[in-house]
Structure 1
């Protein structure tokens, strides 16, 4: 049985529809009008234990609302959610010990306490034994550099410092399932790399991770499954590498040569590739399908024509694919997905 399972999950928010100003507020007291906003629309989702799932979509697509439904923060309008067979709203205490949640825009630290005391409160809430607590704090300090922020009050933390502390707080009790909603917002590049390494450590230890992020570098090299939601509905659910293999096949090799070479000669040597002139006579680019020819083959063919001075390869990633999905340029084939 999946450890996370949603069936027909739907959330509708009812918002007052009133005219602006005092007159509109008074009128609404007597004539109430509402507009229904469907944030999550009949979502079916099953996540197996130990999976790392990327849950992505444009702003307002329903990502954060889905996470709140799966954690029991929100009650669904219709449909069902089960976490390892438990009901998130009914079995809140049991669920709380099994999940960890990080919302990039919200904190679980106590604003008027030092970070170290917030951690101590969480230690007591979850009943973490002292030896395990010290070991985990040391592990997190090696990655997140917590030492400098432990004495600081929660309200005095910068965004990056708060994110590091909140990530540690979310996984301090060793949860089986971790929901990460924009977990690297506000972090510098060096810390992002260490945080992503921590994600991989969690995954390799068997923790189930659901990751929502606009920074798609968080996803590549970590998640093996991609779920795309748009306007509250899942539009794709399948293997991340399969999507890349199908829709991110092209590579562009940028070349600088010792002397100018006729582009027709390059095209003749690389049948099937697209050759375009560069900014100078000794520069050009070669666009090719990596399943038709390798970069090594391209370089070897060019070396037979002219001496190469410089090379650079552009490799489109999953970000390019998802950007095309968002813009409507690409419709992923659900037939081969796992949904």
Structure 2
């Protein structure tokens, strides 16, 4: 429907036009496409990056919240292993990775502190548009290397027979702001997709832990510090951490289950903070999919639009009940 590069450009334009209207922000990995803002009763925007780690979440929230001052909720997906991973030990080129992250952000002096070289390159393109012609070839390489499919270990062919289009209408702006998927995966393809995804995610987790076994605790401390800072804002914001719905094929794989006990312990620590809410919906669609059907998932671990809508309504209900509404 809409090209990825157009979506990224148009999202930034919409952000600058409406930044005072936004009440919610989604960050982190591509699992954040599970948050359907209208169903949550929010005016929201999604600034996730494929494979986005906790360090990037903290950095990006600082940039965006400086400009969108009325945001009251930050939604971050925390599927098993996400608290164990760091792009510093996964990506083969941090300059390319951080350039990709910065390109998916509004302009800020904080991007210079994050990566001066990548920031200067971006600002040069804005200041001197003629450079953009030379930049296009490089940009295509960056997009290829940092796409969700690459980060997850495989690429999805647009003509893949496993994908079924969703016949539904959606407002273009809502689509751009949320990044929703308009295809579902045929049930007979789930096992293959799950095996491929689990291999990729397991490799990323193990690579990080091998290089820095303290990363889970570091990421927890980052999120706790972020929650503290959100309380000090003029418009106080809360940090909402959610284990999003996953397929049984993905979640119940022994290579994912290996990390679940420690992951749950980390979430328990985070849930003790007064400004952190934690919700676990990993098995939300297990029963409905037990008859070998799939009306909700784009692949083995990402919700398509219908799944995002249904899950987000359930999440809103859980949040309302927590607040006693």
TM-score (norm 1): 0.27
Report 1 or 2 for greater relative contact order, CA contacts < 8 Å, sequence distance ≥ 6: 2
| Structure having the higher Rg | 1
TM-score (norm 2): 0.28
Q: Which has the higher helix share?
A: 2
Q: Which has the higher strand share?
A: 1
